[in-house]
Amino acid sequence: MNAPYVHKLLIGKVKKMGHSDATDRMDRPWESGIFKNSVTSGVWLGKTGLMGDQVGDTKNHGGPEKALFAYPTMHYDYWIQELDLETIGIGAMGENLAVDYAEENSVCIGDTYELGDAVIQVSQPRQPCWKPARRFRIMDFALRIQKSGRTGWYFRVLKEGYVQEKSELRLVERPYPQWTIKKCNEVMHVHKKDLKLAEELAACTHLGENWKRTLHKRLSGHVSSVEKRVYGPNKE
């Protein structure tokens, strides 16, 4: 079995797109750091991400719990066929790490890896927002990502250091083998009425704090809608 591998390392600046006088919502002004470019030289990885990388929405993206976004390269074959879109490929999701030999069923919360000089730890699955939909002009794209389970995941940084593409992710600890990214997604988005599972996942020490908050709200009887997140300003 091949070890997880960083095929490409990607960073990008926030870009502003759209036109203020546009009649189609997909053409109206928006800004995002989703547009990434690969870098072949070593890049410093700090507590909040890669040097030179930016996020457009600092409330919902970035920060210590979402320092790095990883996405499996294998999923792009699926999206090309699902969307009939040949132009979608590595970097399209706004990922920082395009990874080989790793996917949602093989990566777990708390997995700790050495990457170059740094040490990183899986914190939570990614919950897709409306911006990939805007980028590719597919209204329900975020919902499709969520339903497919092909979400990718985030890392926090335990040890800063230089990282580079074409590098192995060396697993050094797996404290929660039962909590794969796939299973976490199922608890959050599929088995919403199973409060026992929600309680068990919320008790996972290494789970990201915002996921814990959402699960605790569910346990107290509050279930929020995903409409705003997945459609945002794209929908009337």
User: For 121-158, what is each residue's pLDDT tens digit?
Assistant: 999 999 999 999 999 999 999 999 999 999 999 999 99
Please give the C-alpha separations between residue 193 and each of 127, 135, 145, 182, 187, in angstroms, as whole numbers. 19, 33, 21, 17, 9
| 101 confidence band (pLDDT: 50, 70, 90) | very high
The CATH number covering residue 183 comes to 2.40.33.20
pTM given for the model: 0.96
Report the C-alpha gap between 106 and 65 in whole angstroms: 20
What is the residue range of 85's domain?
A: 5-234
DSSP letters spanning 22-79? -SSGGGS-EEES---EE--S-EEEETTEETT---S-TTTS-SGGGSEEEEETTHHHHH
Report the C-alpha gap between 84 and 200 in whole angstroms: 39
- Considering its fold, how many domains does the chain have in total? 1
Q: What's the pLDDT score for residue 50?
A: 98
Residues 190, 148, 8, 14: is their CA dihedral positive or negative? negative
User: For 202-221, what is each residue's pLDDT tens digit?
Assistant: 999 999 999 999 999 999 99
Residue 236 pLDDT > 70, yes or no? no
